[in-house]
Structure 1
Amino acid sequence: MLFKPVTRDHSGTMPQSWQSLKDGDWLLEQEACRLSLWWPRFYGYYLVKLGPLAGAFDTSAARVQRHWQLGGAGQVLYAGPELPLQERSVDVLVLSHNLEYSSDPHQLMREAQRVLVDGGHLVLTGFNPLSLLNLCGFWKKTPPFDGRFYHPLRIKDWLALLGFEILSDERLLFGPSLSKSPQWLEAMGENYAHFLGAVYVLVARKRSLPAIASPALNRRKVRVVSPIAGPVTGRVARQGSSGAKG
């Protein structure tokens, strides 16, 4: 069984569509373009997109049998703070700007680690606070500036503590607004100021033996487990493998 019952929580003001953001359709196109090369590399039984923004990604190229969306009209209800998913049941979990609007981002990251199978993949996009976009819109209270931005290095630290291996870290949109930036500015940013990209796109893989979480991410006491010798296997499809999708 994939889903489990949860209690309801009404916190959060996450946009219900990309159209809620200025130039949101263009932003969706940019993020989707960066992820388009990753979908064919994923395979398994369940791919879950969390929230209405992640739900807009076209993941049909992923070799995963079932694609689900949590949250959004006509979709499976996502109530939080727990994900309504069984432990180690999801092969690919997609989060798009969820952390900015989460009342407990640490808990959300722990939940991602809980529901992913060993070797499963987490796809994560978000806004970078150290960017011209945030500098110019810091005082605004309209989406996306009504959310809380987390630096991608901080997100990568959380992922490392939870036992994830970072496979890809891309940045995009180096201008002061979400509107289309000049090509020369984007090229200069990618080559010389990668850390100033307004949007980060991370792909991470859950290791078979997760690292021990720090007290900041896990308040429960954990037991030290000796690592098992040998290589850690992933779930990126090998060349020549095949899988069904639905």
Structure 2
Amino acid sequence: MEAFADWLASSELGQYLLCREQVFFDRAVADTFGFRAVQVGLSDYDFLACNRIPWHGYAGPEAGADVICDAAFLPFDSRSLDLLVLPHALDFTSEPHQVLREAERVLVPEGRLVLTGFNPASLWGICRLLRGKRDAPWSGNFFTPARIRDWMTLLQLEPTGSAFMAYSPPFARGDWLARWQFMDSIGERGWPLLAGVYGIEAVKRQRGMRLIMPNWKPAKAGSGLMVAGGNERHPVKQSVQDEIPHG
């Protein structure tokens, strides 16, 4: 993860990717409420900036994090976080299943998880095959979004939304990236599943929980007074107001 963070900061391609992921996270976390939100990894970049939860924390292996830790072993109490953000945490770990298990553990019921990852079915994935996996970001895992959603479902993390970004070919030079940025608008409309990066939003569902609704009962109508004119089975009802003589 540290090598990936250095690549984001030092390369023009990394800056291109960072801008698009920032837009995604700003939108995804804006309407999440609660008491505690944590971003794990890439703590130099504030992906919680647009969230209004009062307490934000930043954890990860970087020296600038509030809490130095591994994403696979989070030092937070179970059911203690309302929002957890994992930028590429599954890409740069040897234990992706454990990272998701930890995410499920620390989230409160109905807590939200937001993550990003590299898409192997893209021009970025092809570049990874051609260049090899020695350097960041190509050394990442590159899981398909369908695979991540399957893992989430097994852990009671229900995917609720997704997004795709970074359609330009992964050129290292900024002038070439600028020439091909038209593919971002075309790709979003024409081939969204071939983006270089995907984002997934999920909610932790708690089995056995159900929402208890108030047992509202309709008010009973006034009984009225029994007056002559009916029979025993069908008496006539007349209100008290009708009994008052009018002068």
TM-score band w.r.t. shorter chain:
0.7 to 0.9
> Partner residue of 1:208?
206
Quote the offset at 1:137 in angstroms: 3.1
Q: Is the CA contact (8 Å cut-off) linking 1:54 and 1:96 kept in structure 2?
A: no
* Aligned residue-pair number: 202
Give the 5 Å matches for 1:48-197: 48-51=38-41, 53=42, 55-71=44-60, 72-75=62-65, 76-79=67-70, 81-138=72-129, 139-140=131-132, 141-177=134-170, 179-180=177-178, 182-197=180-195
Give the Å deviation of 1:205.
0.9
Letter in 2 for 1:42: T
Question: Are the aligned partners of 1:49 and 1:55 in contact in 2 as well (CA < 8 Å)?
Answer: no
TM-score normalised by length of structure 1: 0.74
Equivalent-residue separation in structure 1 for 2:44 and 2:97 (angstroms): 22
Higher Cα Rg, which structure: 2
RMSD: 2.2
Larger helix proportion of the pair: 2
Bigger relative contact order (CA 8 A; separation at least 6): 1
TM-score w.r.t. length of structure 2 = 0.74
Q: Whole-Å Cα distance in 2 between the matches of residues 29 and 77 of structure 1?
A: 25
Structure 1 pair 79–229 and aligned structure 2 pair: CA distance change class (3 A): closer
- Counterpart of 1:39 in structure 2: which amino acid? V
Shift of the 132–145 alpha-carbon distance from structure 1 to 2, 3 Å rule, reads same
What is the SS of the residue equivalent to 2:82? strand
Decide whether aligned partners of structure 1 residues 207 and 20 sit closer, same or farther in structure 2, where only a CA change above 3 A counts: farther
Corresponding position of 1:46: 36
Assess, with a 3 A threshold, how the Cα gap between structure 1 residues 50 and 35 changes in structure 2: closer, same or farther.
same
Question: How far did 1:103 drift?
Answer: 0.9
> For the structure 1 residues 58 and 102, does the alpha-carbon distance in structure 2 shift closer, same or farther, using more than 3 Å as the test?
closer
From the superposition, tell whether residues 132 and 104 of structure 1 become closer, same or farther in structure 2 (CA, over 3 Å): same
Does structure 1 conserve the Cα–Cα contact (< 8 Å) formed by 2:26 and 2:51? no
Contact in 2 for aligned 1:169/1:203 (Cα 8 Å): yes
Q: In structure 1, give the amino acid aligned to 2:111.
A: G
Does the 8 Å contact 2:81/2:106 carry over to 1? yes
- Gap regions ≥5 residues in structure 1: 1-11, 210-226, 232-246
Matches of 2:43 and 2:203, distance apart in 1: 18
Larger CA deviation: 127-136 vs 38-47? 38-47
Structure 2 residue matching 1:114: 3-state secondary structure? helix
